[in-house]
Chains A and B, each alone.
Chain A
């Protein structure tokens, strides 16, 4: 009997302890007060801190300056939760599913991913009524909109695109001209290699970079069949039905096998790209046009704006730099107790003066809003004029269910380059993963 009483007493103590922990917590934050309902309503209490979850590299220093100004004006502090890039997508998905995401969360937005894997209709606040939406560029706006409702704010230079940056000085010294076909590209690579310069810096180790060419040559794909994008999105055809996709990766393997990516491509990292081009060890690389400035800033052997030029990826005879309307965008979590404060912060970021501040500080050349003064460097202005007519969009932003399988495709592509997989399987796997995602999402085109 005594033992039973003792056990009951211990159990009661444990239960009492559990029960009292919430009630005695003196550290409850303003957010807790807001969620409790009753007399303390959201409107009555202004939060002192809002949180913003982002991937490394998506927040420029200019925004940190603006966040400080925002705090001076409103008393609201913006706390940035910066996550390493390679872990971000998985972490964000997990947090969204568990309902523990920050007040504002960021994601690499495109019109398909925001529906299929981010489910912004349920995980983000409708921002259509915000004043800044009227100034937001249509093509960028489309990447963060579902059924006519705008869910995200994109403060990102979508006029930039990944393309081939080449060392114009080395090209001139060797009498080389910009290639316009794949055969010319191979000839240029051969000449560079013969001269002791590694033709292309391709950082395969990072996993995300080497698939870029495949998605960038959208113009060549579209030229092979003008209805291709529509048919793919309507599930009326597959990538495997069109030999050009297989041909594309076979050309990549041809370049890799010829040694044009150098001996160390599989261990080369993106962080080494700028230096490799700045000291002239490598002559070309796929990178953002804006990033040329980072090479110049290194002050290496090649540090003059005239040392570098831009041309489109020449695989499958592509001649156009496709648009990349998608980019990192900010979304407000609807279950956040600080929705109004978060909206206030996004509206602050989207004020014309604050957008212009990012451009004037050199962090962006342009932003997808009307009424701003753009600031393109010479090489970028020339490239946009010559190669970027705005007729094509990179495939991950134009064809559904491609962006979400980027890293899987990258691993398959690596396996193919090493001879562990054949080209038909790589393309078939792209189709299979599209089908898996579409069916799981209940896409009507796949029913």
Chain B
């Protein structure tokens, strides 16, 4: 490596100062507050040690259920938002009629605001007047008409489905770029050697797509762990507490003026995300060749 070609360290100082001041420092201050009794009720801030964390992990409280819900949402949405976009990307990487149109249609949900998506689906999924149930009833499938967002057993699945609908196009676009960067000479050579389409995908496309898949999975997992907006708009954690996730709980704590507990919850999630992020990047990129 020619060290003369490496830029000097102080080129990064400006960016590091801004990043540190705007991201790292507030984060650290937040972590600090999680060890205090910060609330809208108390005028003086006092150190309470691990009390807020003890409350979060207490079996008497529901926070562990919210963490479980968050992990469940993350796992399900990550799998679906990786497999489905991958299938669509593989289909849309070929020369098909109206290729750009197909890609654009699939990408459109990603540019809509979550609020608009949420309100629209809230209307579509209304059990009485919603488009989905009305359509099912119109074709005689009354038995399939359900309380999509208010049935405790269905609500989380409905949120995941809406999230997948919204995120598929975005992930598909990233994967398309990855697929397009793979030279067709590899697959052509394999075909000449007698490989079928599945074998080409399994042994050539997938390994070469691994760095892109790593990015997609990390993005999906981190998004899932900090999900808030789509849950807030569709169910606000209900019915009851069935779809409550960690960040709706954080919002609820802040609304009640219990800022110390709220920041402690955020701190727990920060640790989970850092550990998950580092672990995934290491696992998913372990066989990559570093230039």
Contacts and interface: CB of A to CB of B under 8 A. Distances in A.
Interface residues of A, number: 36
Contacts of B285: none
A441 B238 contact: no
A415 B126 contact: no
22 contacts: A90-B255, A93-B40, A97-B40, A122-B43, A263-B127, A263-B128, A264-B127, A266-B147, A266-B150, A267-B127, A404-B257, A405-B256, A411-B237, A414-B240, A420-B240, A420-B242, A421-B240, A433-B256, A440-B39, A440-B41, A440-B42, A441-B42
Contact of A117 (B10, B41, B128, B149): B41
A437 interface: yes
Contact of A418 (B39, B239, B251, B257): B239
Contact of B255 (A93, A122, A263, A267): A93
Contacts of A275: none
Interface residues of B, number: 28
Tell me the dominant secondary structure on chain B's binding face.
loop
Nearest to B60: A432
B152 interface: yes
Given A418-B152, A437-B41, A404 B239 contact: no
Contacts of B40: 93, 97, 117, 119
Listed residue (B42, B152, B239, B240) with the most chain A CB atoms within 10 angstroms of its CB: B240
Given A117-B40, A267-B126, A421-B240, A404 B256 contact: yes
A264 to B, nearest CB: 5
A442 B44 CA distance: 10
A201 B3 CA distance: 75
B173 interface: no
Nearest to B255: A90
A420 B243 CA distance: 12
Given A418-B152, A440-B42, A441-B42, A266 B258 contact: no
A418 B127 contact: no
Contacts of A433: 256
Nearest to B128: A264
A215 B102 CA distance: 55
Contact of A420 (B37, B41, B241): B241
B37 A440 contact: yes
Contacts of B41: 116-117, 437, 440-442
